[in-house]
A and B are shown apart, each in its own frame.
Chain A
Amino acid sequence: MVEPHHDHDHDHEGHDHPHAEIAEAGRPGYYDIMETAVRELLIERKMIRADEIRRQIEVIDSRTPALGAKVVARAWVDPRFKARLLANGRTACEELGISFYDDTELIVLENTPEVHNLIVCTLCSCYPRPVLGLPPDWYKLKPYRARAVSEPRAVLAEFGTEISQDVEIRVSDSTAMVRYLVLPMRPDGTDSYSEQQLADLVTRDAMIGVIPVQLQGE
């Protein structure tokens, strides 16, 4: 997709936020043309239907970090669910109605006072999309992918996360059929929180393992 030119220079009907007309600018790139050609060929040869592509975009759009947060909060309040989640991440998420449309397995990695987990995909951008949706851009870029496995403590420090030398760091490199989700530690001072209030604390970055879960305003 070509990014629209966006220089905020005129008023737009319906809202008062001025910007340029949203339009395709410039010629499509090599990969834009290849994607269009492959898609049109697949549809023409009746391998897939246009509606299947649209439907799959809807599937992906329905997956957001809120689903992962719901899984984490449930694990914090229900020890039996947590045990099932750590034994088999996929089937435990399926209990909550989260389907694994991409046929991946899920291993849930529990952070403890002794072990801090971090996830990465050095080869490309494998990510627990069924439970978190699309990965952030930095997750897909080479600096994170290379450095997370070679100097994880320095990478974590750049996210503001200092991990003590007595804590073991485990980096899981996701490359084939398994995806990972970090189960962060429940913050202190949340004993009175409801499951939904707990879920509201859990962010995408905490489930990748680059930050702990923090109380709001901390």
Chain B
Amino acid sequence: MPDKAMGDPGFGVVLATGEAPVFQPGDRVRILVRAPIGHYRVPTYLRGKQGSIEAVIEPPAVDNEEEGFGRNAGSKRHYYRVAIPMTEVWADYVGSPRDGLRIEIFETWLERM
């Protein structure tokens, strides 16, 4: 990933809102609990679950949920590959405690813990 967040000290480049990722690999996050009507991309079974950022997905992309209604402009943010233990999702999970789920979540659905 290019070191965009730092800018270039020689030129004093200022990044627009949303250009730099808000989260970094290793950050602990919670997936928000929202119940939007219409088009959404965060499955219900993961809302409210806790995990950690595994990777920032480049490049920033249009919010699929906005795009579903034809609103494509100005909504670019990062998606993140989020790691969630299976035991966090399913209390009665059968398998290794190291088993996990990975999903890409748009920035506006995540909060820092």
Contacts and interface: CB of A to CB of B under 8 A. Distances in A.
Best-surrounded residue of B89, B94, B101 (most CB of chain A within 10 A): B101
B107 to A, nearest CB: 12
Contact of A122 (B45, B94, B98): B45
Interface string A140-169: 000000000111111000000000011111
B45 A149 contact: yes
B85 to A, nearest CB: 10
B62 to A, nearest CB: 8
A172 B83 CA distance: 9
B14 interface: no
Contacts of B93: 150
Contact of A170 (B43, B45, B94, B102): B102
B2 to A, nearest CB: 13
B95 A107 contact: no
A175 B90 contact: no
B79 interface: yes
A167 B64 contact: no
Contacts of B103: 172-173, 175
- Where chain A touches its partner, the secondary structure class is mixed
B41 interface: yes
State which size class the interface on A falls in. 20 to 34
Interface string A114-143: 000000001100000000000000000000
A185 interface: no
Given A152-B95, A166-B96, A171 B101 contact: yes
B106 interface: yes
A149 B99 CA distance: 10
B95 A150 contact: no
A123 B41 contact: yes
Nearest to A149: B101
A167 B45 CA distance: 24
B88 to A, nearest CB: 12
Contacts of B98: 168
B42 A175 contact: yes
A42 to B, nearest CB: 15
Given A105-B57, A149-B45, A149-B89, A167 B96 contact: yes
B64 A177 contact: yes
B6 interface: no
Contact of A173 (B90, B94, B96, B101): B101
Contacts of A150: 89-90, 93
A175 B64 CA distance: 10
B100 interface: yes
